[in-house]
């Protein structure tokens, strides 16, 4: 019976060592992959899908707005403009207002071209 206890103790000790190594490795990966100080603030202004895996993304960076084409395998700059050249955003549906009324009003505006 003493052999069973020592074998079980060795097995539990080995398991604890493996789990400790796993947690240490995960901590090191997290620590090394974190961005370093002095990084430039990046602000995603919006994005829209143009295909199943393609998007157009607006990113504000250092007073410039980048229009990026993002696919599964690449990111390309489509256009660059100053942040003050960006047109004002279209108004959103006001809170507390009925969506169907807002939709009806939008359709009427489109029909009349205003």
The whole-number average pLDDT for the span 49-57 is 87
Domain assignment of residue 3, yes or no: yes
pLDDT in tens, 59-111: 888 888 888 999 999 999 988 888 777 766 555 545 555 777 777 787 888 77
Same domain? For 1 and 25 the reply is yes
pLDDT in tens, 26-42: 999 988 886 665 566 77
How confident is the model at residue 92, as a pLDDT?
53
Total tally of structural domains belonging to the chain: 2
For residue 8, the enclosing domain spans 1-34
Same domain? For 54 and 70 the reply is yes
Same domain? For 7 and 23 the reply is yes
The pTM of the whole model exceeds 0.85: no
Same domain? For 48 and 73 the reply is yes
How confident is the model at residue 12, as a pLDDT?
94
Domain assignment of residue 100, yes or no: no
DSSP 21-73: HHHHHHHHHHHHHSPPTTPPPEEEEEEEESSSS-EEEEEEETTEEEEEEE-SS
Same domain? For 28 and 60 the reply is no
Domain assignment of residue 14, yes or no: yes
How confident is the model at residue 89, as a pLDDT?
58
């Amino acid at each position: 019976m003493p052999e069973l206890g020592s074998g079980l103790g060795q097995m539990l000790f080995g398991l604890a060592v493996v789990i400790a190594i796993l947690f240490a490795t995960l901590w090191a990966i997290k620590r090394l992959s974190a961005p370093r100080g002095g990084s430039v603030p990046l602000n995603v202004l919006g994005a829209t899908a143009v295909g199943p895996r393609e998007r157009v993304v607006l990113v504000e960076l250092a007073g410039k707005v980048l229009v990026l084409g993002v696919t599964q395998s690449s990111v390309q700059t489509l256009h660059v403009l100053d942040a003050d050249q960006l047109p004002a955003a279209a108004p959103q549906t006001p809170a507390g207002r009925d969506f169907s009324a807002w939709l009806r009003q939008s359709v009427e505006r489109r029909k009349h071209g205003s």
